[in-house]
Amino acid sequence: MPLTAIEQILKQRMGLHSATVGSATVLQAVERRMRDCDMDSIDDYLQVLRHSATEMDALIDDVIIPETWFYRDRNPFDAFSAWIKDKWLSHNALTRLRVLSVPCSSGEEPYTLAMCLADLGVPATAAQIDAVDISRGNIDKATGANYGNNSFRGSDLAFRERHFVHENQSYRLKDEIRTRVSFARANLLDEAFLHRREPYDVIFCRNLLIYFDRPTQNLVIDRLERLLGGNGVMFLGHAETSLLLERGFTPLPYPRCFGFERASAPKQDVATAAATLPAHRLTKQGASAPARRTPARPYSIGADSAVTVPEPEPLTDDAMLTEAFRLADQGHLDEAAERCENLLQRHSHQANAHYLLGLIREAAGNVQAAETMLRKAIYLDPNHYEALTHLGVICRQKGDDAGARRFQERAARAAQRHPLKEVAE
């Protein structure tokens, strides 16, 4: 089948696992390119694709439809700024910060990182931001640094007043920010990607791995690990975090940022290590139970007296949900799930509790249960952007292209019509 052959070419060239976006999406892109090439036969188009690098680039640009904006999912950028302030500036005053954004799409992410550094007072000469994407069209748009209203979402747009100039119907990024980022067209899957690259202190690679199968995901993570400096940090998308947790990375101490650093725990003997295995090591069969400490006995003062320990005050709903997200951020998914389940027993209308449980169920390999929880979340909150986006990805993975498009469209409307809400700060 010509379409199957084209999907294989896309997988070899850019790692795209067609099941994640759906064959219908690939076919639509192929049909658009065939019309542009004035071709009627998909067999003829396949032959052109095999021999034309230019047409290969054009198809990749058509398949990749970037959905991004400045400060998208703000928590990772807040965490980046906090890490720079708390860790980098105090320990690396004489060292130049190196940051990688891959894929950089149309430039909103690396420019956001540049704005973060500028707002912290980090001079342009003290940091280098490399932004890489496989799409020539994305790189051309990014280097142009001219953006429409769709690149600015949410209620906090003060950064736009500081760093952009309004011209006609668009916004032009000021040179002070634009020149902080170096753009290049490259393919993360090419072995040459690693050549002559010095280690990076920060790597942003968000929402790319969900489009790959597991072998390709492991290949990409291997390469990113080789590029990450010893004390560096890496940010992934919220659906990709298990890939680093499985490799001994630990979450950064900032809420819902999905950022990680290499674990640096001291060596332990076998018995101690077994007793402290992280609870986030999940398998498709189920989750490992978190280690439980034996409760301490009341301290005895005399034969007939003991200190009375008062019962702790029960957590409020908001506090329990916040605790659940904190535990999930730290990788303690079993305990986070327990908090969510206890909360839902008390009040079943908590959309964010259903959302978090959906992420936890997916991490454990139970996609069906994840979908059920996410659908409950959007039933309770029809504008729950994160749940809508995640359901779109699950539908793609199941081959339900119509369902995926429906959820993506709903997510886009939710982002445009309502300020993006933070979940359980």
**Partners of 283 in beta bridges:** 286
- Domain residues for the domain of 33 are 2-63
In a domain, 13, yes or no: yes
Cis peptide before 278 (omega within 30 of 0): no
In a domain, 209, yes or no: yes
If asked whether residues 88 and 40 sit together in one domain, one would say no
Best CA proximity match to 371, nearest among 346, 388, 384: 388
In a domain, 116, yes or no: yes
If asked whether residues 257 and 213 sit together in one domain, one would say yes
Domain total for the chain?
3
If asked whether residues 186 and 325 sit together in one domain, one would say no
**Contacts (Cβ under 8 Å, ≥6 apart) of 154:** 71, 74, 415, 419, 420
In a domain, 238, yes or no: yes
Best CA proximity match to 376, nearest among 422, 333, 424, 341: 341
Residue 424: C-alpha distances to residues 259, 314, 328, 403, 421 (Å)? 17, 18, 12, 27, 9
CA angle, 342 as apex, 254 and 377 as ends, to 5°? 70
Task: For residues 234 and 225, give the distance between their C-alpha atoms in angstroms, rounded to a whole number.
Answer: 9
If asked whether residues 24 and 59 sit together in one domain, one would say yes
If asked whether residues 78 and 58 sit together in one domain, one would say no
If asked whether residues 322 and 399 sit together in one domain, one would say yes
What is the identity of the amino acid at 127?
A: A
CATH of the domain at 222: 3.40.50.150
In a domain, 307, yes or no: no
**In angstroms, how far is CA 106 from the centroid of its own chain?**
16
Q: Is the distance from CB of 177 to CB of 112 less than 8 angstroms?
A: no
Q: Is the distance from CB of 163 to CB of 177 less than 8 angstroms?
A: yes
How many of the other CB atoms lie within 10 Å of CB of 175? 10
Overall pTM > 0.75: no
Q: Is the distance from CB of 282 to CB of 333 less than 8 angstroms?
A: yes
In a domain, 295, yes or no: no
Please list the pLDDT of the chain residue by residue as tens digits (425 residues): 789 999 999 998 888 877 767 788 889 989 999 999 999 999 999 999 998 988 998 898 888 766 789 999 899 999 999 999 999 988 876 789 999 999 999 999 999 999 999 999 999 999 999 999 999 889 999 999 999 999 999 889 999 999 999 998 899 999 999 999 999 999 999 988 998 899 999 999 998 888 888 899 999 999 999 999 989 999 998 778 778 877 888 889 888 888 999 876 433 332 332 222 233 333 333 333 333 333 333 333 333 444 454 555 567 888 888 888 878 766 678 888 889 998 998 888 899 999 999 888 877 767 788 888 999 999 999 988 888 888 887 887 777 878 888 888 888 788 776 544 444 44
